[in-house]
Amino acid sequence: MRNELISANHAAAMAAILAARANRSGRGFCAGVYPITPSTECMELLCSRQIEKGQVVRVEGEHSAMAVCIGSVAAGARSFTATSSNGLAYMAENVVTAALLRLPMVMMVANRTLGPPWNIWADHGDSLLLRDSGWLQFYCADNQEVLDTILFAYRLGEDPRVMLPVMVCQDGFVLSHTMAQTLVPEQELVDRFLPPLEVPHRLNEQPHALGSVVLPQQTEVLRRQHHEAMNTALAIYPQLQREFAAVFGRPIADPLVGYRYEDAELLILSMGTLASTVERAVDRLRERGVKAGGLRVRLFRPFPARQLRELLGRPARVAVLDRDISPGFGGVLWGECRSCVSGDVLMQNYMLGLGGGDVRPEHVEQLVDDLLGRETAGEPMVMEVGA
């Protein structure tokens, strides 16, 4: 295990390369790549490495990058791509296609604000735009988690009980361009954790159709199977966690990650790197005598609703922080969490850090002060922290 000082973009690329080589005894590896800030340096590193039994295809746009991934997995190869923001929006049609064809692959999304007006900083609105596309979605909090989650995502998505693509998200520039000490496993360990990919419906010598027209009842059956596969991914998560820890000697995080939440009377929910800021704010709030706790939603799809419902039944007040906005509604995470609280819990939505606004612990303390002063929940609030 090497300890290297790398960015999260390079952590993602190194994980993809290790996963690619792990399939050398299978049908190899293929990636479709197109640059877009802030994910570009991930693909630059991928393009610079020789991968045995692997090929990186440089294409003219993100739609084609995903098409290359679809074709390669349909042929039985392990596949990877990375993108951000409008690049993800441009490939949306093929993102949905990959999921509905039940083709397991991994895509790293360096979250960035959708334009116009153009903005290159972090915002979860790009990947949440595709929350119902049928992909599993992870939101990472640091560089090590990006590397580990990509390896874990291949194992989870390629499980024969799941067979679905996985999106591994990280906050653009906050992580993508920030260097941090990261443990990079040896190839031998990755080989032990990732068996060769077997796609049961891959194209081979036996003629069969992929993506043909079907009747309504067949669509109903396929949607039910897809929904069940998502739920299966959540059910087998603990088993794969144990296997990951046994091979790599370190745990991989749960779908929900808590911080000083066991005795909390006020809970702050967030995703991605916002959770790190929340942890610092929780420490400061505890010094003031406020029994606050943090809870990070790491796995957004499938949504861990049952586990969240159990945790949200205890505190009297909950703040949901969204680095995204669904105009005319509120925060996307808040919308997901509303069904998980009982009537006697006061849940308030705060949207902040939109467009990469710098969220600091004092901002979290301000919204907690607002929450403590409330008798009832109000409309979702946009906190402007970009100045």
Average pLDDT (40-67) is 96
Kindly tell me if the per-residue pLDDT of 208 is higher than 90. no
Kindly tell me if the per-residue pLDDT of 125 is higher than 90. yes
Residue in 385, 356, 350 with CA at minimum distance from that of residue 117: 356
pLDDT value, residue 270:
98
Mean pLDDT value across the chain: 96
Average pLDDT (263-281) is 97
Kindly tell me if the per-residue pLDDT of 63 is higher than 90. yes
Find out whether 61 and 34 touch, Cβ atoms under 8 Å. yes
Please list, in sequence order, all residues whose beta carbon lies within 8 angstroms of the beta carbon of residue 215, skipping any fewer than 6 positions away. Answer: none
% of the chain residues with pLDDT over 70: 100
Whole-structure pTM value: 0.97
Alpha helix ranges (H) inside the chain: 8-21, 40-48, 62-74, 85-90, 92-100, 125-128, 143-158, 187-193, 216-248, 274-287, 305-311, 332-337, 361-372
Kindly tell me if the per-residue pLDDT of 206 is higher than 90. no
pLDDT value, residue 127:
98
- Full set of structural domains in the chain with CATH: 2-197+212-248 (3.40.50.970), 256-382 (3.40.50.920)
Structure confidence at residue 1 as a pLDDT band (50, 70, 90) = confident
CB atoms within 10 A of CB 254: 15
CA 111 to chain centroid, in Å, comes to 10
pLDDT value, residue 313:
78
Kindly tell me if the per-residue pLDDT of 327 is higher than 90. yes
Residue pointed to by tokens 């779908």: 255
Find out whether 102 and 133 touch, Cβ atoms under 8 Å. no
Average pLDDT (222-249) is 98
Condensed to tens digits (0 to 9), the pLDDT of residues 284-315 reads 999 999 999 999 999 999 999 999 999 887 77
Six-digit token string for 111: 């979250």
d(CA 203, CA 163): 15
Average pLDDT (350-375) is 97
d(CA 380, CA 313): 21
Average pLDDT (147-166) is 98
Between 238 and 311, name the one with better pLDDT.
Answer: 238
Kindly tell me if the per-residue pLDDT of 261 is higher than 80. yes
Residue 257: C-alpha distances to residues 62, 281, 300, 304 (Å): 32, 16, 12, 11
